[in-house]
Amino acid sequence: MNEWEDFINRCNNCEKCGLSVYRKNVVIGRGTPKPCPLMFIGEGPGEQEDIQGEAFVGRAGKLLDLLLTALEFDPSDYYIANIVKCRPPENRIPTQDEVSACLPWLRFQVKYIKPSILVCLGATAAKAIIDRDLKITQVRGTCIEKGGYVMIPTYHPAAVLRDNSKRLDFFRDMKLVKEKLSEIKQR
C-alpha cells in the first residue's frame, strides 16, 4: 500500500470526532493526488459531497467549476479539499474540536500535493489555516505569505450563491489566483 492509499484508509476509518457518526462517506477531495501548484480548501462536505464522496460537487462546486473553466484553469494544476472530511449535521460550521481533529489529514494532503498556493474558500478555511481571528470581508482578495505558501482567502462559493453582491469580488479574487498561478508556473 502506498502513502496516499494508506492515508485514504486511515481517513475512512477515522473516529477522532463526532462527525464520523453522521457521515455516509469520508470526503477526501477532488482531483488527482499528485504534486500540483494550487490547492483550494473549503470548509467541509455538504449533502451532495457526503452522498457522492467527492469534494465540491453540489451547487457551490458547480459555481466553482464554472469560474475555473471560464478563467481557463487547467484541472491538472489544482486539487480541491476541505478542512473537515465528514459532513457536519445540517451543514453547520464545524466546531473547533472537529477542525482540530481533521487538520492533520489536511496537513498530510498539503505535504503530499506540494502546492505553492493555498486558496481558502470561506471564513472557516481561512481561520483554520491563516489566523483564527481573521475577518474574511477584510482579507479576501489579498495574498498572505505564510509558512512558504501564498495564501489567498476569498468567499466560499456557497456564500456567493446566497449573496449576489459577492460575485464580482469572488471573480476578481479568482483572477488574482490565476495571475499568481501564472507567475509560479513561469519560474
* Contact criterion met (CB below 8 Å) for 127 and 137: no
Q: What ranges do the domains of the chain cover? A: 3-186
132-138's contacts with Cβ under 8 Å and 24+ in sequence apart are none
- pLDDT tens track of the chain, all 187 residues? 799 999 999 999 999 999 999 999 999 999 999 999 999 999 999 999 999 999 999 999 999 999 999 999 999 999 999 999 999 999 999 999 999 999 999 999 999 999 999 999 999 999 999 999 999 999 999 999 999 999 999 999 999 999 999 999 999 999 999 999 999 988 8
H helices present in 35-95, as ranges: 47-52, 59-70
Pick the CATH number of 3-186 from 3.40.470.10, 3.10.620.30, 1.10.357.10, 3.90.1150.10: 3.40.470.10
